[in-house]
Amino acid sequence: MEHPLWLPYCQMKTARPPEFVARNEGVTLHLADGRQLLDGIASWWTACHGYNHPDIVSAISQQAREMSHVMLGGLVHQPAIRLGERLARLIPGSNNKVFFSDSGSVAVEAALKIATQHWINQGVSGKNRFVCFQGAYHGDTAGAMSVCDPEDSMHSHFKGFLLKQFPTPIPQTENELATFKEFLSKHQSEVAGVILEPLIQMAAGIRFHSVASLRGIANVCREMGILLILDEVATGFGRTGTLFAFEQANLKPDILCVGKGLTGGSLPLAATIATDFVYQPFHSDSQSHALMHGPTYMGNPIACAAANASLDLFEKEPRLEQVHELQDWLNEYLQPLQAHPHVLDVRCRGAVGAVQLDREIPLQTATDYFVNRGCWLRPLRDVIYLAPSFPIEKPQVETLCSAIGDYLTDQW
């Protein structure tokens, strides 16, 4: 099919032609030619309630009739305020502030700028670098790319263009934590913050770390007075089994980034949430202390209405229970694949299941295989993963997992 679209992350000349989707519903993609695909990855893990949930659809159409958009410069509106109040409460403490944007990458950019200016506004100079982790993915814009995994081929062309940060392994043991603490104290005068995807590093390879690691990193940041930025764009809204991953470690981030599942996979919206402590140095009589950032469509009313409806669904429907069941099913069907000679590791947490092979998976042939089986899965380098909508049913999970099992048996 000829089309003018420049598609992401692919060699357009040789990539397999894209499937043409006409509509979607629940966990199903309906293709224009009548075929159906069972979606195992929920459009980059955004569609947590399944596609086209009637509550979100009706919130969107109602808001579109009243006001599609208005600038947030000098103006506010009810959908943004209501959502802002709910997001501000996600971090313990009062007077937290919520900064809206339209993508996870920009939420991360805002977090990096907020952390840097937090120090400048207090007259502390030189703290403008970040400690980040191997295996991280924080987005595709320049600041966000600079804190991604430094070896990641996704961004390797841009090394010379990016700011230099301080990447380090995620400390997994007491010894590694001590090394991490030393590393941080060596760079303390230059470091504005530490940025981490808590519990699951998603896009760069679905890697897990323990609650103890997360808590250890947070404690070291606290001891050293370094801001802890948690990027929950992927892990937020139930993906790891709790509404937010950081809840499992019983800690308080200084800055929290959310996106992806915020609108239940319906519209682009993201937010950067800062504690009152982080915000205070911005609150002064000096214009130069203001945050100079403002995406044109920030706080779009339709997107905010969709996000409010999505948050309501977490209260009205048993989403987290569904995630817990899903974790059991993923374990039940994926763990046996561990026996396959090319499988290095099988890991499941919350609504995420990953099968890691001992080499890169050919994306084209794998996608062909899964599409022929009526499944939509998109391997990430050496990992085949599932991150479906939470209301997916057990037989559907079984279908997806047996497609993975059969692919391994037939092709490897």
Ligand X SMILES: *Cc1c(COP(=O)(O)O)cnc(C)c1O
For 283-389, strand residue ranges (E) read 343-349, 352-357, 375-376, 383-386
Segment 217-276, which members bind ligand X (CB under 6 A)? 231, 233-234, 259-260
Nearest CA among 149, 170, 225, 161 for reference residue 193: 225
Query: Which residues are catalytically annotated?
Result: 9, 137, 231, 260
**Is residue 208 classed as helix, strand or coil in its secondary structure?**
strand
Residue 411 to residues 310, 340, 344, 368, 407, Cα–Cα distance (Å): 40, 12, 16, 12, 6
Q: Please tell me whether residue 149 binds ligand X under the rule CB under 6 A.
A: no
- Which of 171, 197, 218, 337 lies at the binding interface for ligand X (CB under 6 A)? 197
CB of 16 to ligand X, least distance (A): 22
Q: Please tell me whether residue 48 binds ligand X under the rule CB under 6 A.
A: no
- Which of 48, 87, 108, 195 lies at the binding interface for ligand X (CB under 6 A)? 108
The burial class, CB within 10 Å (0-12 / 13-18 / 19+), for 21 is middle
Residue matched to tokens 């399944």: 50
Q: Which is nearer to ligand X, 104 or 301 (CB)?
A: 104
Q: Within 10 Å of residue 318's Cβ, how many Cβ atoms?
A: 12
CB of 328 to ligand X, least distance (A): 24
Segment 326-355, which members bind ligand X (CB under 6 A)? none
Q: Are 238 and 42 in contact (CB under 8 A)?
A: no
Q: Which is nearer to ligand X, 104 or 135 (CB)?
A: 104
The burial class, CB within 10 Å (0-12 / 13-18 / 19+), for 83 is buried
DSSP 50: -
- Which of 87, 177, 203, 375 lies at the binding interface for ligand X (CB under 6 A)? 203
Q: Please tell me whether residue 195 binds ligand X under the rule CB under 6 A.
A: no
Q: Which is nearer to ligand X, 79 or 259 (CB)?
A: 259
CB of 231 to ligand X, least distance (A): 5
Contacts made by residues 83-87, CB under 8 angstroms, sequence distance 24+: 83/304, 83/307, 83/308, 83/311, 84/299, 86/308, 86/311, 87/258, 87/271, 87/273
Q: Which is nearer to ligand X, 267 or 404 (CB)?
A: 267
Tell me, residue by residue from 84 to 103, as one string, x for binding to ligand X by CB under 6 A and - for no binding. -------------------x
Q: Please tell me whether residue 209 binds ligand X under the rule CB under 6 A.
A: no
Q: Which is nearer to ligand X, 130 or 407 (CB)?
A: 130
Tell me, residue by residue from 165 to 194, as one string, x for binding to ligand X by CB under 6 A and - for no binding. ------------------------------
Q: Please tell me whether residue 109 binds ligand X under the rule CB under 6 A.
A: no
Structure tokens at 55: 């509550």
- Give the CA radius of gyration of the chain: 21
CB of 309 to ligand X, least distance (A): 19
Task: Determine the residue with CB nearest ligand X.
Answer: 104
Q: Please tell me whether residue 104 binds ligand X under the rule CB under 6 A.
A: yes
Structure tokens at 330: 């993923």
Q: Which is nearer to ligand X, 148 or 221 (CB)?
A: 148
DSSP-derived pairing of the beta strands 270-274 and 255-258 = antiparallel
Q: Please tell me whether residue 139 binds ligand X under the rule CB under 6 A.
A: yes
The site for ligand X (CB under 6 A) is made up of: 103-105, 108, 137-139, 197, 202-203, 231, 233-234, 259-260
